Chain A
């Protein structure tokens, strides 16, 4: 709860501030808080990724981008009432939707009873890998992970061809 409150305060800061350098630093802080939250949920692999990518590498990339542009954001030209209304409506709908979810930590939900239980039971006898996250990612869902690697590959090729300086 404390971490969620801190995240909300950070988000308000990101919205309010016009200095882009502070915004980047605040989004880095937001990523660290998110990583802490994932750690509390025992999702260590995701927390590690969030800390390394969200707080580390993407902050450096955004700082590099700011170096080539202006460091202050311009004042919005239009009134921001309609976006605020849309955000409040969608946020309210999402909060209303959470009342339909099963209680936090319940073990009889569909999520825990179909494939997850199978993975937890069969990971050690079939693959001998104690970290179930790795055995699911690399072995049971190897083809999905190949797709993810190809997504990274395609994204990198795209960014490089966009940013490459013309040698001609």
Chain B
């Protein structure tokens, strides 16, 4: 008897989880649509936008720079060690450049932004919701979507590509330092190989990914903050779900964008 009931329960749980996930995707899509529509209609809150630019962009530079330089250095060591197996260690500059610009730069910056910015946005807005500050905004004739979401999402969309650009350069620099100081590469030829090998589409794809990841990271932070549960547990849950969802969506979007831009 139990053997018959168990698969039914398991299937029911799976079905419920699927429907819950699809409903969440639908709600996030509606929220994204609303955010875009509010971006085009006044009023615009310039002060909140500039504050968000500083918080999302400028203040993320240290974490992005440190992540990129260590990753670039490690990547150079790995490529050198792997390349040695078939006498191809000379390709380190080219592979570090393409690996950082096309893939690791945007993905690592996206994930760092999810960790640093998405969590901060979700926790801040969720706390505002729990302490009735969102209701207070509404009673003061201020649309919370325009005042809280639009400036942050716009700042993410505009600044994360710049952070990705900086991350790409610092990552390549990490590879350069390790290759020239530790692996014995010639400085001038390393730079020449890097510059000659990289093409405009590589850089453009990196920046496009940055813009999409910035949009996702900030939108998801705002969405979970606005839909937070009550109390400290609600704030904690909103923050945790925001970071997890943003990270997964960034990785999924990376796969889709890579397929579209380089799949053929």
Q: Do A and B come together as binding partners?
A: no
Question: Which A residues are within 8 Å of any B CB, using their own CB?
Answer: none
Question: Which B residues are within 8 Å of any A CB, using their own CB?
Answer: none
